[in-house]
Amino acid sequence: MTASHYTHPVVGRVDGVGGAALKFAIIGPRHLPRTDVATYTTALANHLVQAGHDVTLVTWSRGTPGRGREAPVLARTVHALSWARPDSWVRAGRRLRGFDAIIVVQVTPLLVPAYLAILRTAGSGGADGDLPLGDAPRTIVIPQSVLPRRSRLGDYALIRSLFERVDAVLVHSPEQARLALDLHATRVSVADAVGLQGGPDGDEDPDLSSQWAHYVGAIEALASPPWHA
């Protein structure tokens, strides 16, 4: 496995090769039960769209436990994933071949098998740290917390298996970065996410808009080919 890297937040914009927009897939929740994760995922998709990128949000289908009302989203949305249907993970992965980057919003270790199946079928997520083929989507995991506050038996191994098979992990604090490196993440970047749960609108605070611009810039840098090559 290649050596681990720990990078600080990226300032500025990287709009893909030659200034072209990137084609992103975001895998994460869109529904709003009791947490801010769905709000964050929707806001991330909306800000990437507003930055000029082609974004598809891949989320869970009807009947998934915890489904609530949906947050407004600007990105194309596909309700393709089912907790009870592993074949849906494989089908979703096939549809993501040809994307520039896949972002996984990591919520719970229980979903790691689904993420690994999706990434492997998309052509990414090589075993034992092997880099995917040159034309495979770059893979970025954004964990809300690297490990749950109350970890269960097997959580550590599941998260490590995910981190070992993706190109980069974007975390929200230096403490989370150190934990990600301990879990064999190949490349770890840190970006401040305080206050970023809200979606973009015309009355958004200028300071928050600036913070989102820096946050999106960090993701663009990780998703662009130069460092990956």
Exposure on the CB side of residue 217, measured as CA atoms within 13 A: 13
pLDDT tens digits in sequence order for the chain, 229 residues long? 334 454 444 333 333 444 568 999 999 987 655 557 888 898 999 999 999 999 999 998 854 445 556 667 889 999 999 988 999 999 999 999 999 999 999 989 999 999 999 999 999 865 444 444 557 899 999 998 999 888 788 999 999 999 999 999 999 999 999 999 999 999 999 998 776 754 444 345 555 678 899 999 999 999 987 544 4
In terms of pTM, does the model score above 0.85?
A: no
Give every strand in the sheet of 5-7, ordered side by side.
5-7, 187-190, 168-171, 138-143, 101-106, 23-27, 54-60, 76-81
Q: Residue 54: which H helix or E strand, with range? A: strand 54-60
Exposure on the CB side of residue 192, measured as CA atoms within 13 A: 10
Q: Are 80 and 203 in contact (CB under 8 A)?
A: no
Q: Could you tell me the domains of the chain?
A: 5-228 (3.40.50.2000)
